[in-house]
Amino acid sequence: MKKQTQMYYGADYNPEQWSKEVILEDMVLMKEAGVNYVSINIFGWVSIQPNETTFDFDFLDWLIDLLYKNDIMIDLANGTASPPAWLVHKYPDMMPMTVHGNRLVHGSRQHYCPTSDVYRQYAAALSSEVAKRYHDHPGIVMWHINNEYTCHIHECYCDRCRSRFQQWLKEKYQTIATLNSAWSTTFWSQSYGDWHEIYLPEEMPTFKNPAQQLDYARFISAMNLEIYQIEKAAIAAYSKEIPFMTNLMGLHKYVDGFKWATEMDVVSWNSYPNPFNEMPYPQFLANDLTRSLKKKPFLIMEQAPSAVNWRAVNGAKKAGQMRLWSYEAIAHGSDGIMFFQWRQSKGGAEKFHSAVVPHGEPKESRVFKESCQFGNELKKLQAVVGTTFIADAAIVFDWENWWALELDAKPRKLKYIHQLSRLYEALSGLNLTVDFVHPDEDISGYSFVIAPNLYSASSSFGKKIEEYVTRGGIFLTNFFSGIVNEHDQVYLGGYPGLFKDVLGLTVEEFYPLKDSMHGQISFDGQTFTTHLWEEVIHLDHATALAHFNNDHLPGVPAITSNQYGDGYAYYIGTELAPADLAIVLTKIIQDNDLHKATEEFIEGTTPVSVTCRKGKDYSLLFLLNHTDSTHQIVLKKKGYSILDETNVTELEVDAKNVQIIKFSHTSDHK
C-alpha cells in the first residue's frame, strides 16, 4: 500500500472548467503555493464519458501526466458524484423521490436514488474504466470514491426504496414476528402480517413509529455504503496498492462514520466552520471524531480558504484564521490540509465560494498570499506525518444514538451535537484531550470515559460499563442517558435503566425546562445555573455532589458520584454552561488523580490549547493560542521549535499563533 511521507497540501481541482492555458498557469501558481496534492475528476463524469458508448480520456491523460511532471500527487476520483444528463434522460427512474412523491430532475448534483441499480451499474462501469486506465500511474496516491455521500440526498421514497427496505428488514429480522416485537407494533395497532405491508416512514397522520424511523436511518446509511463498496470493488479489481477513501463530513447525521471507516484506508472530512464563530467547537470536535474513526491520522480533504457561498451570510476568514484553524486540525491528528477549491469558478452555483486562486489577480490576493505562506511552512512538518495523537479520555459517540435522541415525542427537544459541543468546550478549556469511541469498542485503555446524552445503548454496553468501573475506570454520564435499547424501548424499573446500578441512583421523573426557564444547583459552595433539563433523582448508593435549589425540586440531588468496585461512576442531571461543567470535571479529575499526557512537557495550566502527537522516538507538542493575548509557556525539558527552527525551554506563543515543539527521546533535539 502506498504510504504518505509528506504533509499533503492542496485542493479540489476542477480543470474541466478551464482552458489548457489556464491549467498551465495553475502549475506555476501551485508550485508557488507549496501545493503537492490535488483531488481531480470528482465531477468529471460527463467529460470522460460524454455518451453511453464513448469514453474519452485524452484530457485526463494529459492532466495526470502534467500534474505528475510537476510533482503534484493525485487523489483521483472515480467521477461518479454527478451523473450525466444522458444517463438521467435514458433512466429517469434512477432519480430520488421526495417525501411528497416528486421525482427530482437533472441540473444540480448527487441526483441518484440510493437503491438505483442503474446508478450502481453505471457508476461501477465508470469506476472500472478509470481504474483500468490509471491504476499503475505513479502519480496517483489515493482513490477518491464519489463525493460527500448523502450530503444532499438523505432520503428517498420511491417504490424501489420501499421494496428494498422491506428486503433489508427481512434480512435483519428474519421473521415478521421479530420485527413486530422490535418495532413495538402492538402500540396503535401497527402489527404486520407480511413484509409487503411495510411502508417507508413517509407522510403519516401523526408521530411515526420511532423504531421504523431508526431502521430507515440505518437503511439509508447502509444503502449508500453499498454504493461505496460497489465503486470500490470495481476499482479494487485493478488496483491493490493505492489507498481508498471518500470525503466524509464530520458531524453529518446520515452516514454512520464508524461503520463506513472500516471500508476505508484513510479517513478524511470536509471542514466548513463559520468564520463568524471565534471558536467553532463542533468543527473542532469533528477533527477528533474523524481521527477516532480509525484511531489514525486523518485528512482535511476540503476547507474554504475564506468564505463559503452557501450560508445566508458568508463571512470571510480573517487574516490568520485559515492558518490557525488548519493547525487545530493538524494538532488533533490531521496529516493534510486541502481546500475547496483551487481556482474560483467563473460560472455555476459555486462562483462566489472562495478558492485559493480568486477571480482577481492572485498576486494581489490576501487569500492567495496566505495560502502560499502556509503551504510553504507546512514543508517543515515532515516529522508530524504518521504520528499518533495522544488522548487522555474517551467520549462515547454513536450515530444511532444521535438518530434516536433526536426523534420527536421526547420530554424535550435535545440536540446531540449541541450537548457534545458544550462538553467539548469544557474539556478543551481544561486541555483534556479526547478520542471518540463507538459503544462496541474496547475502552479498557482509557482511565476516563464520558457518555454524554447516550439515550440509546445496548444492554451489552451497560455490562461493559459496569465491568469497566468495577476494574477501576472513571465513568461520567448525564441526563437522558441509558434510557432505551437499540429499538427505542425503555429499560424498565426506573431510569436510567441501563446505568442505574453503576450510578447507584434512580431517576423518578423528568422536569424539562423551557428555553427561558433556569434553575440553580449548588456545587462545592458555588451556584450554577441549570439549562434545558432537571429531574427527580433518588440516591440508592450514590452520594450527592450537588443539589437542585429551586421551588419544585428543593434539595433534590443534581450531580452524583458512586463508588462501584474499584472505580467511580458520576452523573449530572442537568445541562450546565461549559465553564461550570469544567469545574465539575476538574473535581472528577483531581479526586481520581487523572493525568494528562501533556503534563510530561509543560508546567501548570495555560489558556493555550495543548495537544500531543507521538512518533517513533519523539513527541510533538502543539501549542495553539486561540486567545487575543500572548502567553508564556515553560517547558519541563528542552525542545525544538519546528516553526522557528530553534531549541527552546520556554517560549511565548503570540495571540492567534502556533508553536510546534519536538522532544526527541534521544539526546539530539533536532
Backbone angles phi, psi at 464, to 5 degrees: -60, -40
Angle separating helix axes 117-134 and 58-69, nearest 10 degrees: 50
Distance between CA atoms of residues 347 and 352, nearest Å:
9
Contact (CB, 8 A) for 88 and 51:
no
Contacts of 54 (CB under 8 A, 6+ apart): none
Task: Tell me, yes or no, if 226 is annotated catalytic.
Answer: no
Ramachandran bin of 393, using left for φ above 0, alpha for ψ from -120 to 50, beta for the remaining angles: beta
Q: Which of 45, 260, 327, 340 binds ligand GLA (CB under 6 A)?
A: 340
Residue 86 touches which of ligand GLA, Zn ion, none (CB < 5 to 8 A by kind)?
Answer: none
For the bound state, the minimum distance from the C-beta of residue 408 to ligand GLA, rounded and expressed in Å, comes to 29
Nearest CB to Zn ion, comparing residues 160 and 669: 160
Catalytic residue among 148, 370, 466, 534: 148
Closest distance between Zn ion and the C-beta of residue 113, in Å?
3
**Alpha-carbon gap, residue 283 to 274, rounded angstroms:** 9
Q: Which of 116, 122, 108, 140 is nearest to 41 (CA)?
A: 140
Question: DSSP for 78-121?
Answer: ---SS--HHHHHH-GGGS-B-TTSPBP-SSSS----TT-HHHHH
> Which residues on adjacent β-strands are paired with residue 478?
572
Size of residue set near ligand GLA by CB under 6 A? 9
Residue 425 is a catalytic residue: no
| Minimum distance of ligand GLA from residue 287's CB (angstroms) | 16
Residue least distant from ligand GLA (Cβ): 270
* Span 86-115, contacts to Zn ion by CB under 5 A: 113
Q: Closest distance between ligand GLA and the C-beta of residue 151, in Å? A: 7
Least gap, CB of 302 to ligand GLA (angstroms):
5
Pairing status of strand 618-624 against strand 393-396: unpaired
Please give the Cα distance from 476 to 426 (Å, whole number). 14
For position 220 contacting Zn ion by CB under 5 A, the verdict is: no
Residue 161 partner contact from Zn ion, ligand GLA, none using kind-dependent CB cut-offs of 5 to 8 Å: Zn ion
- Of 128 and 163, nearer to Zn ion (C-beta) is 163
Which CB atom, from 316 or from 651, has the smaller least distance to ligand GLA? 316
From 129, 231, 302, 535, the catalytic residue: 302
Find cell 437503511 and name the residue.
219
CB of 659 to ligand GLA, least distance (A): 30
What span, in angstroms and rounded, lies between the C-alpha atoms of 161 and 167?
A: 10
Q: Which is nearer to ligand GLA, 143 or 571 (CB)?
A: 143
CB of 106 to ligand GLA, least distance (A): 17
Q: How many helices (H) and strands (E) does the chain have?
A: 17, 26
Task: Give the CA count within 13 Å in the CB-facing half-sphere of 540.
Answer: 18
247-276 mask for ligand GLA (x: CB under 6 A)?
Answer: -----------------------x-x----
Plot region of 405 (φ>0 → left; ψ -120 to 50 → alpha; else → beta): alpha
Q: Shortest distance, CB of residue 45 to ligand GLA, whole angstroms?
A: 14
Strand 334-339, strand 567-572: pairing: unpaired
Distance CA 80, CA 77 (A): 8
148 binds ligand GLA (CB under 6 A): yes
12 versus 155: smaller Cβ distance to ligand GLA: 12
In the complex with ligand GLA, which residue's Cβ is closer, 154 or 487?
154
* Binding-site string for Zn ion from residue 134 to residue 163, where x marks contact by CB under 5 A and - marks none: ----------------------x-x--x--
> Of these partners, Zn ion, ligand GLA, none, which one is at the site of residue 146 (CB under 5 to 8 Å by kind)?
none
Please choose which of ligand GLA, Zn ion, none residue 147 contacts, taking the beta carbon within 5 to 8 angstroms, the exact cut-off set by kind: ligand GLA
Of these partners, Zn ion, ligand GLA, none, which one is at the site of residue 158 (CB under 5 to 8 Å by kind)? Zn ion
Interstrand relation of 434-437 and 631-641 (parallel, antiparallel or unpaired): unpaired
Smaller CB distance to ligand GLA: residue 106 or 109? Answer: 109
State the Cα–Cα distance between residues 20 and 626, nearest whole angstrom.
42
Of the candidates 40, 124, 299, 308, which one interacts with ligand GLA according to CB under 6 A? 308
- Residue 343 three-state SS: strand
Which residue from 75, 302, 486, 534 is in contact with ligand GLA, where contact means CB under 6 A?
302
Question: 57 touches which of Zn ion, ligand GLA, none (CB within 5 to 8 A by kind)?
Answer: none
In this structure, how many other beta carbons lie within 10 angstroms of the beta carbon of residue 614?
A: 15
Contact flag: residue 149 with ligand GLA (CB under 6 A):
no
**Which residues in this chain contact ligand GLA in the complex, by CB under 6 A?**
147-148, 270, 272, 302, 308, 340, 350, 353
Q: Which residues are catalytic?
A: 148, 302
**Which residues in this chain contact Zn ion in the complex, by CB under 5 A?**
113, 156, 158, 161
